Amino acid sequence: MWSSRLVFVLAAAGSAVGLGNIWKFPYITGENGGGAFVVVYLACIALVGVPIMMAEVMLGRAGRMSPINTMRKLASASGGSGFWPVIGWMGVLAGFLILSYYAVIAGWAVYYVGRLASGTFDGADGAASQAAFDAFLADPWAILLWQTVFMAVTVFIIARGVARGLETAVRWLMPLLLVLLLVLVGYGAAVGDFARGAGFLFSFDVSSLSVGGLLTAMGHAFFTLSLGMGAIMAYGAYLPGRTSIAGTVTTIAVLDTVVALAAGLAIFPIVFATAGLEPGEGPGLMFVTLPIAFGNLPLGAVVGAVFFLLVSFAAVTSAISLTEPALAFLVEQYNAKRTRVAISLGAGCWLLGIGTVLSFNVWADVHVVGGLTFFDFVDYVSYKVLLPVGGLLIALFAGWVLAKPVVAEELGFDGWQERLWQAAIRFIAPAGVLVVFGYTIYQSV
């Protein structure tokens, strides 16, 4: 069990804050035209993400087992069917798929630690930064090397048990990461085109919103809060009984959102002030823009290296949570040794990740289905399909199946709080997911 509420907050925040905030949020915002996308994303966080996160923590604490067995136990205690553990199984699959490419991108961040430290970007302009990134992406062996390093570190930590390392990492490194992000926002305000950058993020222009953007926003709300696959449920299993779930979850969601918006405010002013860069540049956005800032700041090489190191740590604390549902299940069910499970899982993810490594070079023109590269495909299946569907099922179970006394005991709501919760988890959150899904399917047929 976590020693206190604080440790749970730190672990869950460590899971939530990661590449999703700093790498993915800015680039998908850029691809989807900015402001309107951000509004939809924020609405998804507040109306769908927060209630579902509360549901996951509640289910985890009520079951106190791995997600698969927690769902088994709670479904049978509430007279539900044997169908519900499918949430746990889908979650194991989603975690595996996500980690396979997450480790590849995290490897890029690790690689950039050394690149910045060695002064490659001193005085760099847009063209130089873009060229350095393109050269790296063209070399599958280099990407493979850093993917392997990242995966090895992750496996090492999960094999040893996570509690202590995680606590230090999150308690000290996360605030530092936030401070450095604010320094970058300051750089953007001083040197970049801050007005256009902020305008891009916050001006609401409905015409820029596409159907694909809706689905991306919904998927990303799940991704960034680590929802829909049982990661937060697995952590909830270790939460002490007395802690307020609503307060804790709100804190985590706010923190996660602040980090994402800060990353956007750091990146877009640089994009608009630099010749040759575009918001819709894609997955390379963070790696092309931020080195320009560091290359032109005093002590930029050192500060930049520290920044990418912190991003790498943030990625490790997220990667750990992607493995927890599978790991907890295998250890609990088969009494398997943690070390052995961690190594096998890591090896499997690493192998699958090679497909993603090759998507950026050798297989760049190989399409699995409908124009999607291997990376795009794994990404699509996991975060646009498995996470929202998992989240929908979690909401339905928590709202309609789970026995009332369990909910009352876990959440401790009364009066209006109870009614608000019921409305959110029974209707608003499921309807939100269904509308976005339904609309997307309607538009594409």
Residue 226 vs 356, nearer CB to ligand TRP = 226
Among 16-24, 116-124, 282-290, 364-372, which window interacts with ligand TRP (CB under 6 A)?
16-24
SS3 240: coil
Does 321 interact with ligand TRP (rule: CB under 6 A)? yes
Does 284 interact with ligand TRP (rule: CB under 6 A)? no
Q: What is the smallest separation between the CB atom of 336 and ligand TRP, expressed in angstroms?
A: 22
Q: Among 70, 130, 224, 289, which residue sits at the site for ligand TRP (rule: CB under 6 A)?
A: 224
Q: What is the smallest separation between the CB atom of 229 and ligand TRP, expressed in angstroms?
A: 5
3-state secondary structure 65-122: CCHHHHHHHHHHHCCCCCCCCHHHHHHHHHHHHHHHHHHHHHHHHHHHHHHHHCCCCC
Q: What is the smallest separation between the CB atom of 159 and ligand TRP, expressed in angstroms?
A: 18
Among 12-20, 104-112, 264-272, 425-433, which window interacts with ligand TRP (CB under 6 A)?
12-20
Residue 234 vs 406, nearer CB to ligand TRP = 234
Q: What is the smallest separation between the CB atom of 382 and ligand TRP, expressed in angstroms?
A: 8
Give, as ranges, the residues between 49 and 108 that touch ligand TRP (CB under 6 A): 98
CA distance 281 to 271: 10
Q: Which residue has tokens 């010749």?
A: 275
Residue 398 vs 406, nearer CB to ligand TRP = 398
Contacts 24+ apart (CB under 8 A), 271-278: 271/30, 271/197, 272/192, 272/193, 272/196, 272/197, 272/200, 273/191, 273/192, 273/193, 274/125, 274/126, 274/192, 275/125, 275/126, 275/127, 276/126, 276/127, 276/130, 277/126, 277/130, 278/30
Residue 44 vs 231, nearer CB to ligand TRP = 231
- From the number of C-beta atoms within 10 Å of its C-beta (0-12, 13-18, 19+), residue 366 rates as exposed
Does 223 interact with ligand TRP (rule: CB under 6 A)? yes
For helices 50-63 and 67-77, angle between their N-to-C axes, nearest 10 degrees: 80
Q: What is the smallest separation between the CB atom of 154 and ligand TRP, expressed in angstroms?
A: 11
Residue 84 vs 96, nearer CB to ligand TRP = 96
Q: Among 116, 157, 229, 286, which residue sits at the site for ligand TRP (rule: CB under 6 A)?
A: 229
* # of chain residues touching ligand TRP (CB under 6 A): 16
Give the other-Cβ count within 10 Å of 150's Cβ.
26
Does 15 interact with ligand TRP (rule: CB under 6 A)? yes
Query: 112-125 b/e with 16+ CB inside 10 Å = b?
Result: bbebbeeebbeebe
Does 257 interact with ligand TRP (rule: CB under 6 A)? no
CA distance 406 to 422: 14
SS3 360: coil
Q: What is the smallest separation between the CB atom of 400 and ligand TRP, expressed in angstroms?
A: 23
Q: Phi first, then psi: give them for residue 112, nearest 5 degrees.
A: -70, -20
The token pair at 269 is 């002013």
Q: Tell me which H or E stretch contains 338.
A: helix 338-359
Residue 318 vs 359, nearer CB to ligand TRP = 318
Count the helix, strand and coil residues of the chain and give each as a percent rounded to the nearest 5: 80, 0, 20
Does 29 interact with ligand TRP (rule: CB under 6 A)? no
Q: What is the smallest separation between the CB atom of 141 and ligand TRP, expressed in angstroms?
A: 26
Q: What is the smallest separation between the CB atom of 222 and ligand TRP, expressed in angstroms?
A: 6
The token pair at 201 is 């993020």
Residue 85 vs 295, nearer CB to ligand TRP = 85
Amino acid at site 176: L
Q: State which residue has the least CB distance to ligand TRP.
A: 20
Residue 133 vs 223, nearer CB to ligand TRP = 223
Residue 272 vs 383, nearer CB to ligand TRP = 383
Contacts to ligand TRP by CB under 6 A: 15-16, 18-21, 98, 223-224, 226, 229, 231, 318, 321-322, 387
